[in-house]
Amino acid sequence: MGALTGKIAIITGAASGIGRASALRFAKEGAKVVLGDWSDSVHEVAKEIGDAATAMQIDAGKEDDVAAIVKLALDTHGRIDVAFANAGISGGMEGIFDNTVENFTEVLRVNLIGPWLMVKHAGKAMADSGNGGSIILTASVAGIRSGAGGPPYSASKAGVINLTKVSAQQMSETNVRVNAICPGLTETGMTKPTFDYAKEKDVMHKVGRLNPLRRGAQPEELSNVALFLASDEASYVNGQAIAVDGGLSSSHPVTRQLTGQTAV
């Protein structure tokens, strides 16, 4: 028996990165997965999984599309047990003065309105079923404090963290849990240019060097946390934003003090 045997899970942003890793892991643990992504590569991921997967191309920030993938899950499987709103965009690293209203709006639409739409539609289906469920939202360490993303991205992810807490409270007594994962630097489609450059220049040892583990993460390491939150093992975890960042967010910027040495 897998950790998710018999469960039905929706995963957005499932064509690559954390979403793809989670789709493969959830299916391996016994779930039937309904996968959404704007890229047609989502169908390749479903094909890789096999009969346990169904895929749909969606815009995760568009209400009709989110409602459609929720309906697909309900029509196909009769219920939803897990909804992982993972889709997101970076929006670039332009500063406060250089950003545009159009860019800011688009990032908020996908990264913040998108997760809210999943809470609205999948959460309602879970609440109405009377069986509860688990909603997982992808936030970021950029939503915890400055330094990990551009202004619109950081603002959107801070909003996801607060949305998680508000949603958990407003769904009291439904047995629907809402939690967020806050990844640090992870090798995904969004961060591919950074990792590709480091590999090309043979400086991978510098990637993630600001966190205590001194490395970036692989998508599978984030999918492990998503799996836990989706499973019954996390039955008393609710309204939390869990940083999975190698320890990056555990400290304010300081001169590093190593064991047995004095900071200078």
Which tokens belong to 150?
Answer: 């551009």
User: What one-character DSSP code corresponds to residue 220?
Assistant: H
Q: Which is the catalytic residue, given 38, 153, 216, 242?
A: 153
Catalytic residue at 153? yes
Integer distance in angstroms from the first to the last C-alpha of the chain?
53
Nearest to 110 by CA among 167, 148, 152: 152
Q: In what order do the strands lie in the sheet with 133-138?
A: 53-57, 32-37, 8-12, 82-85, 133-138, 176-183, 241-244
CA 3, 79, 71, 90 dihedral sign is negative
Residues belonging to the active site = 153
